[in-house]
Structure 1
Amino acid sequence: MDVPGADRASDDTSGVVGRANLTAQAASGLSWSVLSTVVLVGANLAYTATVSRLLDPAEFGLMAMANLVVLFGQFFARMGLASSLVQKPELSEDEIRAASTAGIVIGLVCLGLAWLLAPAVGDLFHTPQVAPVLRGLAVSFPFMGWSMTGLGLLRREMRFRALSVITVGSYVIGYLVVGVALALLGAGVWSLVAATVTSTLIQAVWQFALLHHPMRPALRWPPYRTVCGYGTRLQVAHVLDYVGGNLDTFTIARIASPAVLGQYSRAYYLVFQPLGNYLAAALTNVAFAAMSRVQEDPVRLRRGYLSTMSLGALLVFPLCAGMAVAAPELVAVVLGPQWGPAAWLVPWFALAGGCHIASQLSQSLAEARAELNRSVAVQLGYVLLLAVLILIALPFSSRGVWVIAAAVAAAELLRYVGYLVVAWRVLELPAARVWQAHVPAAFAAIGVALAVAGVRWALEGTPAVAVLAGEIAAGALALVLCIRLCPVAGVRADLWLRLAKAGVLGPPDGRRQRVASLVLSPPDLAVTEEER
């Protein structure tokens, strides 16, 4: 006997289950990505602390010069292939084969061009020693192009646990094992080169071993047009991001010595490696995959974006505030005594790094919706603005390269505002709702900065490592208290929901939930699953 409305009820249930599954997948993926980020940051600090004491600033300056070309080539080697595989609603085997073939071929082309142009790059920077370093780093291009297919498929399937293991494993083997071992043996700058190439190779092989995705070249043009068309448009915005992200390094390479450039690059990477690379990747990889799934559902997309932006800012900006205040101790402990000038640069890069990550969250929204023209417009405006700010700062460069870092921070802040405008228009959000999402982050950032400054003042004259340990403990406690006392109660409810979906809080009435309730206050959870 037919029951009226039975099919409709089934459909509704399926929709609710689909929403719950996606929320759980996204929350679980974010928890694994954040966990891998914590491990990577720890591994990176150990690696940075070791090689910064084994190599001198000039060798890092050579690496920074070579990376100007390598990072540019990476945008072409990647060709947006991974993002294309994630964003496409339906994916065929021919398109996977086309992505694999295109990645390898483009990587080989980039290797050949870098090999031929290496002497000219050495002449450009008046440093011939950079040519062999560039050629060594360029060996990673084919492996990077090959790895994009596996990376895209793992993100598309939201297999962030496997991706986290691969990312951490390849970094540990490449950098902590190969890189540190060669540095100890006196390989100098070549230890940095070997670490990069080894890590890229291991990641590509590991992903393929896990997926065994088809690699036989596709013999028809349409699959290549599909995967490369979106990727090519996407890379326009990313190439502009590269230009803006390296315009300051190029300027300093032209006006200063390799040693000064080494100080600048170490300060930059001390902040941007854990923030701009690891933490940004953890947040944006999950956000892009989740928003791509609901790109045609404006209500869910709007809620997902606001939640991601609010919680992401709550994590990022207090961390950056703490790094800025603790800069002298951070540099002394991690880099060592020969890197004192870098401490003047870290606060500017901390501000820039926070805005950079927040910008990428909104950029992920634009890419998930294929709103690439708007993203390109923001990136172009950022590059032009940064160029103007650097030109304004150059006459004052005799006071130190911190003026260039200040120009970078100002440009990153304005780019973030630009991407917020893009999100506001794409999602048709009330402007007040966008700014309200930043209140918890601003409240926590001020609290963390004051706590770290208080500890630094109280422990003045104490060894740097003890001061840094106290600053970290005070900053963490201040963040917890600021979340608990935040005037926007909804952020506690949202954070509780995401942690519960990821399984972090454990079973109801368990010890972890009781501890979490002291901070997140579950009675504030007035938003039901259906409303989410």
Structure 2
Amino acid sequence: MLTMRTMRGAAWLVLSRFVGRLIDFVTLIVLARILTPADFGLTALAASLIAIVDMVLEVPILQALLRRQVFDKSHLDTGFTINLLRSLLVALVIVAAAWPFARAYADMRLVPVLAVLAIGPIARGLASPAMVTFARDLKFHQTFIVELTGKICAFGLAVALVLNGAGYWAIVANSVMAAVMGAVASYILAPYRPALSLSRFSDFSRFTGWFSSAQIVSAVNWQLDRILLGRYVDKGTFGQYVLASDLAVFPTQSVIGPAMQSVMAAFSAINADPGRMRQAFLKAVRLVMLVSVPVCLGISITSDLIVAILLGPNWHRAADLLGMISLAVLPVPYYQTLHSFCLALDRPAMLLRISMIELLLRLGLVSAGLWLFALEGVVWARLLLAAAMAVVYMLHVRHLAQIGLRQQIGNVWKVAAATALMVAAAGTLRHLLAPMALPATVELAATAATGIAVYVAGLALLGVRLARGAGRFALHDRWL
């Protein structure tokens, strides 16, 4: 049954990303306790440029192959060759940009950092294209093994380096080692003999063109605030902002994001039936919002406790930033579902239009926020942008899937209502516990337990029966 295969595939992807992010968290805690916010700020600046180049030059080989009903080795060879050419181009662009970028930010240490970090996207691009066969069959435990191998090796190297006084190079090594070892593991699990060929280039070109255009805009969207802030605030403050941002997107990156690959495969399997596609979209949105909304709000109301426990006293400013930025993440899972929906319907042009709208809004809001109120202005700009983009996403869903705004709101209103009860209960409890000066771990545990209990009870009162299991309650009419 497609639903159950999709759920199992999503479970493996979520487990893969969750375990990977858990290892990243442990690595982050170790590094944050030893290194300074300025160390993180330096590497984050370099990582921002790498991310832009990587996204701009990304070629959606996996997505293009998933769209095809059949493919053979010639398709894999073409995909490998395209990625090889892309990797060479990434290297050239980074080498050419390193010196002027370092001059612009008045820190020549960025030159060697950029050169080493560039190995990461190159290694990821040269991973075995045969991994796509597992994705087509909705089998993702191999992805779990690849992810785990890379993260464990990276953790060991980073900890060894930082304990031996390597400083910020431990952060650089962690990023690069994860990519390199992941690529090596992909060839062990999905053997493929590389061969250079562009015989099937026409099967990738149209899809790649629209997707690449959208990626260029998305790259600027995701990194604009960091590029601007890195120029106008000190590296310590920038490091606090970057770490807060990374913590805020943990739910969407570790749980929702990986599940979308399985969801896209399921969408692609039924893309000839508009009615089934509409129902599948509504079910997918219900599930992702069921998880992401309470988690994002929970992070927001306990941000000070999370930062105190994980990072320590040197990161106190990150707590306030985390509390606000986590709210700006709320619409992201909705977009991730819409993104998979568009790709399954071969509508990358719509993704480009959405990205262009976001870029125009972001340029205006973030620039104005930075000019008027510095760091705080950028954070408020992100909140306003999130609210505006939520409306944009819903309008595009109405156009693409023929699902009205009222139906979209009705699809998730019970999640919103139960989350409101959760926030009220958790906030009240924190107010009552404040005079007691409890340890942060105790207060966080009590607040989280109360929030979860109230949230689950709220869903039950509203007719959502979680005991039915994810594959069944999403289909239940009482949800609507």
Superposition TM-score tier, normalisation by shorter sequence:
over 0.9
Question: Quick one: which of 247, 253, 257 aligns to 2:234?
Answer: 257
* 1:475 and 2:451 aligned: yes
1:56-101 Cα shifts (integer Å, max 9, x gaps): 1111111111012110122255311121112223323211110011
Deviations 1:463-514, CA, capped at 9 Å, x for gaps: 112212222222222232122122xx3x548x835446xxxxxxxxxxxxxx
Matched, 1:420 2:394: yes
Which one is further off, 60-69 or 152-161? 152-161
User: What's the offset of the Cα at 1:141?
Assistant: 2.8
Q: In structure 1, how many angstroms separate the alpha carbons of the residues matched to 2:7 and 2:121?
A: 33
- The equivalent residue for 1:216 is 195
What is the count of residue pairs matched by the alignment?
476
Could you tell me which of 345, 358, 368 is aligned with 1:382?
358
More deviation, 104-113/32-41? 32-41
Q: Secondary structure at the match of 1:354?
A: coil
Distance 2:173 2:217 in 1: 28
Report the Cα offset of residue 258 of structure 1.
Answer: 1.0
Q: Return structure 1 stretches of 4+ with deviation > 6 angstroms.
A: none
Aligned partner of 1:171 in structure 2 is 151
Deviation of the 1:441 alpha carbon: 2.1
2:428 to 454, 461, 466: 454
Distance change (3 Å), C-alpha of 1:44 and 1:472? farther
| TM-score computed with the length of structure 1 as normaliser | 0.85
1:269 and 2:243 aligned: no
Structure 2: runs of 5+ lacking an equivalent: none
Q: Within 2, Cα distance between the matches of 1:81 and 1:406?
A: 37
Deviation at 1:229, TM superposition (A): 3.1
Change (3 A) 1:456 1:263: same
Q: Contact 2:17–2:253 (CA<8 Å) still a contact in 1? A: no
SS of equivalent to 1:84: helix
Alignment partners' CA distance in 2, 1:282 and 1:80: 16
1:122/1:191 CA distance change after superposition, 3 Å: same
Counterpart CA distance in 2 for 1:525 and 1:422 is 26
Unaligned runs of 5+ in 1: 1-20, 501-519, 528-532
Match of 2:121 among 130, 141, 145: 141
How far apart are residue 129 of structure 1 and its match?
Answer: 1.4
- Show the 5 A alignment for 1:193-342: 193-218=172-197, 220=199, 223-272=200-249, 274-342=250-318
Q: Which amino acid aligns with 2:80?
A: S
Q: Does residue 407 of structure 1 match 2:381?
A: yes
The secondary structure found in structure 1 opposite 2:331 is: helix
Q: In structure 2, what is the equivalent of residue 517 of structure 1?
A: none
Q: Give the drift of 1:366.
A: 1.0
* Matched-pair contact (CA < 8 Å) for 1:315–1:441: no
Displacement, 1:320? 0.4
CA contact (8 A) 1:29 1:160 kept: yes
Q: Please, what TM-score do these two structures have when normalized by structure 2?
A: 0.93
Q: Which moved more, 1:313-322 or 1:69-78?
A: 69-78
Q: 2:255 & 2:398 partners in 1: Cα distance?
A: 24
Q: Which residue of 2 aligns with 1:496?
A: 468
In the aligned structure 1, how far is the partner of 2:33 from the partner of 2:203? 48
Percent of aligned pairs with the same amino acid: 22
CA distance in 2, matches of 1:418, 1:151: 34
Q: What code does the residue aligned with 2:271 have?
A: Q
CA contact (8 A) 1:390 1:404 kept: yes
- Output the aligned Cα RMSD: 2.1
